[in-house]
Amino acid sequence: MLKEEFDGYKYIEGGVCAARGFTANGLNCGINPVKEKNDLGIVYSEVPCNTAAVYTQNKVKGAPVIVTQKHLEKSHGISKAVIVNSKNANTCNPGGEEIAEETSRLVANELGIKPEEVIVASTGVIGQPLHIGPFAEHMNQLVSGLSVEGHTEAANAIMTTDTVRKEVAVEFDINGSICHLGGMAKGSGMIHPNMATTLNFITTDVAASPEIIQKALSDVVKVTYNCLSVDGDTSTNDMVSVMANGLAGNSIITSEGEEFKIFKQALYIVMLDMVKMLAADGEGASKFIECTCKGAPDINTAITAAKSVIRSPLVKCAMFGGDANCGRILCAVGYADIDIDVKKIDVELKSSAGSILVCKDGMGLQFSEENAAEILAQKEIYIDINLNQGDASARAWGCDLTYDYVKINGDYRS
């Protein structure tokens, strides 16, 4: 998928190590029996980071989510490291919080920092016991291998059913200071974020206060991660954290002026690209789907409508089958919790093979099935909905529902 271009921002390599002062590493510690697959990752900043995070709104919360919240409260929003494992969610299991705390202590001891400066996260199967042994036995090796090149090992460590590694970073300028912001994320199922996201760790060398980072993160999450749905299931372990170590040397951002806008836009670019990668690599996905809802009376209406379409299993199956089924799209808009006049809705389907209007004024149109089939045979499908009743617009992202989704999730634990 082509990255969207934004004036003043340049995509660069490096993921979580793109910003100055960050190193990372990853390895297999034995939680995952497949020795070639990393299951433990670390990110470290040589100087303290002002930090913000958003967490899952699921009432069943992973132990690491609870522990990370406590840590950032205790440290007043200062962190220096992320430790994250895959293959076991450390959720709904005996002693989960103790394991997360002990893991943090192991990291802290090895790095010479405080346990509350550690962001701890887990992803994988829920309800399984997790033992401290593998962490204890490999922490020295993990920390001693920290390097600027380690971002790929760390990004590999958080993959579960993901088929591709998800990293992105940008370079930009704040008042003459060259800044960097990058991150890594994991998919690819149990994805229907609610005021949070799947696991996503972002690092930057921008100098900004914890409050202003939180403000930027909350704003951007609303129009990126919270507009992503792979299967409608909101995970227990969702978390996005942003660590800002200030090494870019800009004067610290503490209010919502021009510099805040530049920083927030960088965050948007990185999170947008992450979200699109997550959608394209959704469990079993054969097609990436972007739904744009424009002409809405307000932004929340636009978001709700676009998300409803992206979440609909029937729309997802139609996209898998290359069926230009406008009825299912209208149906999904219709059952969304929004106040609209359905008789004004236009729907257009687009891809690299062209575009076709399938619905005008809420009525299905006759169209060339051959043309529609060619458009929907592409790997990236765009559903454009115009409500024609306002100026607000929003996008949501997802993927098709395929045999492979059923296959992957029919037997995930084993």
Active site residues: 197
127 binds its own copies (CB under 8 A): yes
Are 232 and 283 a contacting pair, CB within 8 Å?
no
Nearest one of 356, 380, 372 to 324, comparing CA atoms: 372
53-92 burial: b if 16+ Cβ within 10 Å, else e: bbbbebeebbbbbbbbeebbeebebbbbbbbbbbbbbbbe
**Shortest approach of its own copies to residue 363 CB, angstroms?**
6
Q: Select from 278, 240, 236, 202 the least CA-distant residue to 89.
A: 236
Q: Is 407 helix (H, G, I), strand (E, B) or coil?
A: helix
Specify burial of residue 5 (Cβ count, 10 A radius: 0-12, 13-18, 19+). exposed
Tokens of residue 23, six digits: 């190193």
**300 forms part of the interface with its own copies (CB under 8 A):** no
User: Of the two residues 47 and 335, which places its CB atom closer to its own copies in the complex?
Assistant: 335
Binding residue for its own copies (CB under 8 A) from 33, 112, 176, 410?
410
Report the residue from 30, 297, 362, 390 that binds its own copies according to the rule CB under 8 A: 362
8 or 127: CB nearest its own copies: 127
* Two structure tokens written together for 43: 């990110």
Of the pair 35, 413, the CB lying nearest its own copies is at: 413
In whole angstroms, give the CA distance from residue 38 to residue 32: 8
List, in order, residues 6 or more apart from 411 with CB less than 8 Å away. Answer: none
Choose the stretch contacting its own copies; rule: CB under 8 A; options: 122-130, 146-154, 167-175, 296-304: 122-130
In whole angstroms, how close is the CB of 323 to its own copies at the nearest point? 6
Shortest approach of its own copies to residue 384 CB, angstroms? 16
Nearer to its own copies, 47 or 363 (CB): 363
Per CB under 8 A, 125 contacts its own copies: yes
197 touches its own copies (CB under 8 A): no
Measured in degrees and rounded to the nearest 5, phi and psi for residue 38 equal: -60, 140
Question: Which residue among 332, 375, 387, 399 contacts its own copies (CB under 8 A)?
Answer: 332
Q: Which stretch, 5-13, 120-128, 180-188, 239-247, contacts its own copies (CB under 8 A)?
A: 120-128
Site size with its own copies, rule: CB under 8 A: 67
Instruction: Kindly tell me which residue out of 169, 228, 243, 340 binds its own copies, with binding defined by CB under 8 A.
Output: 340
Nearest residue (CB) to its own copies, 206 versus 278: 278
Query: Least Å distance between CB 273 and its own copies?
Result: 26
- Burial of 251: CB neighbours in 10 Å, binned 0-12, 13-18, 19+: exposed
Q: Map tokens 């069943």 to a residue.
A: 60
Binding mask 214-233 for its own copies (x = CB under 8 A): -----------------xxx
Q: Is 392 in the site for its own copies (CB under 8 A)?
A: no
Answer for the pair 242, 53: CB distance below 8 angstroms, yes or no.
yes
Q: Which pair of structure tokens corresponds to residue 232?
A: 């409608």
Residues 41-60 binding its own copies (CB under 8 A) are: 57-60
380-386 vs 288-296, strand pairing mode:
parallel
Does residue 412 bind its own copies (CB under 8 A)? yes
Residues in contact with its own copies by the rule CB under 8 A: 57-61, 89, 91-94, 125-129, 189-190, 192, 194, 231-236, 311-314, 317-318, 320-323, 325-328, 330-335, 338, 340, 342, 358-359, 362-364, 366, 401-403, 405-414
